[in-house]
Amino acid sequence: MVFSSLTFVCVFLPIVILLYYVSPSLAIRNALLIVASLLFYAYGEPIYIVLMLFSIFINYGFGRMLESQIKAARKVVVVAAVSVNLGILFVFKYTDMLLETINKIGNRDFHTIDLALPVGISFFTFQALSYVIDVYRNEAKAEKSVFNVMLYISFFPQLIAGPIVKYHDISEQIRKRKVDIQEIAEGLRRFIIGLSKKVLISNTMAITADMLFTVPLGKINILSAWIAALAYMFQIYFDFSGYSDMAIGLGHMFGFKFLENFNYPYISKSVKEFWRRWHISLSTWFKEYLYIPLGGNRKGKMRTCINKLIVFFATGLWHGANWTFVVWGLWHGIFMLLEEVINIKQVPRVLRHIYTMLVVCIGFVMFRADTFLQGILMIQKMLVGWEFGGEQMSIVKSVMTPVFLITVTIALIGSTPIIKSIGKDCAQKESGKKIMEFLSYGIAIVLLAICILSLSSGTYNPFIYFRF
């Protein structure tokens, strides 16, 4: 089940909200959210609910063992916890990748195991690691109740597409939280905004991107290659930020405050700034649990460079079991290091922005590509694809539809804070604030209706996180 489905929007969510608010106590509400979360996860792949429960109980046990005051014992426990969690992730996500790599490099013929990838395994594994590491660092107390750990790891709003919620950010909210009608309304509005991003913008961009990335490369020229790259660039942003908006909105409906995950990354003027704005929960997770433990920037320039490349290698690998993701991660890491050598702030702002978007756009081509070779050839077409024959131009004309052009325009505006700034300016006066609030809820209702109609018509609705 995904948020952008009629089953979730029209059946699952209304029932859960209704039952939640008729429940008389926080304990019953938490129990309801646990049951709802497990049902949500089991809807698509019931067998992997066993893996989810195993992760919950084993990490609960590790947390209790970390209550020991013996330093050596605590180190053994945390190493075991990290090993078990990463081991599970490796088996299900990276075993076939390793075997295929060995086969290619060593000319071997090992058979892959072809295990189905549990949806969201990277997200809930990192949350489980956050719990045990936070307890180890004494940044949080070990939970006495296994049900609190269960709610934290399995909570359905951020289970399959993030944001990654660190335990020390949410532990108190599990035990105590309040919510009023205004909070529910704000959460619902935020959810609808995210749903609209996904259904109305991302899905439209996906049609173009998916079509062009499957066209034989001989029929692709510089125009269609750039259209494909830009379409995917908008698809992944509005899909990912849309899911984050939906998760944050759902959290508000149940009294949880999740941290923001995106902050208009496409206005960035450096790769470093881009990563302060893009998938913020993942960036901060790697900073807190990998970069700083490796030594951060405290052990000299060379070690700092190595630490950053390790982080970006891990960032790429986290996204999927394919070397294209690793290349994407290292691509960003290399440019971030270059920015520290070259004083990029001396470059005019416009040129910095163009440079950053070129790096990001080319990187996303490799991210989207099925193979390393396809990614390289598509990038080649973006640079020197000067073929303008009938076949090539017919492809270009087929994707340049009015719907596509209108959606691109909306995406361009929506990826900047222009609308937000206008809203703030209009809301400076009390009367203006009320008008803007009324308009925002009215627009949200209209958008929800359009999204439901779109989903009802069976329009293209891909789920791009099956590899996460």
Q: Show the CA angle centred on residue 456, arms to residues 452 and 461, nearest 5°.
A: 85
Q: How far is CA 223 from CA 70, 234, 389, in A?
A: 64, 17, 12
Q: Is 353 known to be catalytic?
A: no
Give the Cα separation of 162 and 151 in Å (integer). Answer: 15
**Where are any strands of DSSP class E within 248-324?**
none
- How many C-beta atoms lie closer than 10 Å to residue 76's C-beta? 13
Dihedral angle computed from the Cα positions of residues 148, 154, 155 and 158, in that order, rounded to the nearest 10 degrees:
140
* In contact, 223 and 295? CB cutoff 8 Å: no
Give the Cα separation of 164 and 121 in Å (integer). Answer: 12
Q: How far is CA 117 from CA 84, 94, 113, 325, in A?
A: 17, 10, 11, 16
* In contact, 330 and 316? CB cutoff 8 Å: yes
Contacts of 3 (CB under 8 A, 6+ apart): 9, 161, 191, 194, 195, 198, 243, 246, 247, 250
Give the Cα separation of 251 and 43 in Å (integer). Answer: 20
Token pair of 398 as six digits:
């087929």
Q: How far is CA 144 from CA 10, 141, 147, 326, 380, in A?
A: 36, 9, 9, 39, 57
For residue 371, report the phi and psi dihedrals to the nearest 5 degrees.
-135, 160
Return the half-sphere exposure (C-beta side, CA atoms, 13 A cut-off) of residue 197.
25
Dihedral angle computed from the Cα positions of residues 195, 196, 202 and 205, in that order, rounded to the nearest 10 degrees:
160
For residue 401, report the phi and psi dihedrals to the nearest 5 degrees.
-85, 160
**From 111, 319, 332, 353, the catalytic residue:** 319
**Catalytic annotation, residues:** 319
